[in-house]
Amino acid sequence: MATKKTTDVPAEAEMKDEIIETPVAEAPVTEDTKVTAKAGKRSAKAVAEVEAKVEKEERKAARAETEADEADKPKAPVTPTRSRLERRGKQFRKVAEQVEKGKLYTVEEAVALAKKTSTTKFDATVELHIRLGVDPRHADQNIRDNLVLPAGTGKTVKVAVLADVDDAAAAKKAGADVAGIDEILKDLDKGQITFDTLIATPSQMSKLGKYARVLGPRGLMPNPKSGTVTTDVAHAVKQAKAGRVEYRVDSTGIVHLGMGKVSFTEAQLVENAQAVFASIRNNKPNSLKGNYFKAVHLSTTMGPSIVIDLSATN
């Protein structure tokens, strides 16, 4: 009987055939730990884009829902805009009732009505607002002139004259409040303007160049067209004191001009108005086609406007 031979397998060989799994300690996950992933659909960038898209859709849906709710709500009644007259003060509305809407007044009627509708506690200015059919962009239609009102302006005008010794003495004699060179320039250097009208001789105009930014916006810069640059300073002073006014059409083709005070008599105001109309007619440009006078309104400071019949301006 044959005997089976057994061999002993070494313990080391048996251990090789066995798989021994040893638990690996995992690193603790903290908030600062950044999870990185390979590029693809589940990368950090892709996840962030998906989340942003979802949030955007949610906001859009919420906005649509809000708009739908607002559309279902009953709309509040819209209050109609009040007219310009209704927005004025109670006293103004009361006196404005005296002006008949749509009516064209003669100059005499307009002046009488303007005096009645003036409610200010001070001596209000009577104003003329004349819309002309001109285009101020054309040089020949840029209407500008000055005139002496027959009854004056009703204002006390302070006149300064920039001239040498001889002309300054003549200006003082004619009624100028300030005359000379040094006194006027010292006040201008300090930014002090103590006059309503400045008259200068042609030889002294160069000294006013650096003050143009101060005098120009106030309408005080001497100009030959307005008669404030002249060699006859005495005559210019007398005109300024007598009530000389300067007018110029604005960018919309309208002339605004104060022509007296409410305290004037009706005859004086009518005379001043007719003088203004005559001066503007004399400056009608030859190139103008169509109507020269488009509309004329007369009013007082803080008073209602009165429409004047255009036939009264002829």
In the prediction, which pLDDT does 89 show? 82
Asked if 112 and 259 touch (Cβ cutoff 8 Å), the reply is no
Using CA atoms, how far apart are residues 268 and 263, in angstroms rounded to an integer? 10
User: For residue 153, is it left (φ>0), alpha (ψ between -120 and 50) or beta?
Assistant: alpha
Using DSSP, state whether 147 is helix, strand or coil: strand
Which 8-state DSSP code applies to residue 161?
A: E
Using CA atoms, how far apart are residues 160 and 200, in angstroms rounded to an integer? 8
Q: What is the pLDDT of residues 155-191, one digit of tens each?
A: 888 999 999 988 999 999 999 999 988 889 998 888 8
Q: What is the pLDDT of residues 35-86, one digit of tens each?
A: 444 555 578 888 888 889 999 999 998 888 888 877 777 777 777 787 777 7
In the prediction, which pLDDT does 7 show? 46
The answer to whether domain 100-154+243-314 and domain 155-241 are alike in fold is no
Using CA atoms, how far apart are residues 234 and 228, in angstroms rounded to an integer? 11
In the prediction, which pLDDT does 41 show? 55
Band of residue 261 on the pLDDT scale cut at 50, 70, 90: very high
Where do the structural domains in the chain lie, given as residue ranges? 100-154+243-314, 155-241
Tell me how many degrees the CA angle 153-130-128 measures, rounded to the nearest 5: 30
pLDDT exceeds 70 at position 17: no
| pTM for the whole structure | 0.66
CATH match for 100-154+243-314 among 3.40.50.280, 3.40.50.720, 3.30.190.20, 1.20.1740.10: 3.30.190.20
pLDDT exceeds 70 at position 114: yes
Query: What does the chain come to in residues?
Result: 314
Mean pLDDT throughout 273-283? 93
pLDDT exceeds 60 at position 108: yes
In the prediction, which pLDDT does 84 show? 75
Q: Which of 254, 208, 262, 202 is nearest to 232 (CA)?
A: 202
Asked if 136 and 254 touch (Cβ cutoff 8 Å), the reply is no
Q: Please provide the CATH number assigned to the domain covering 155-241.
A: 3.40.50.790
Using CA atoms, how far apart are residues 274 and 291, in angstroms rounded to an integer? 19
Band of residue 9 on the pLDDT scale cut at 50, 70, 90: very low
Band of residue 290 on the pLDDT scale cut at 50, 70, 90: confident
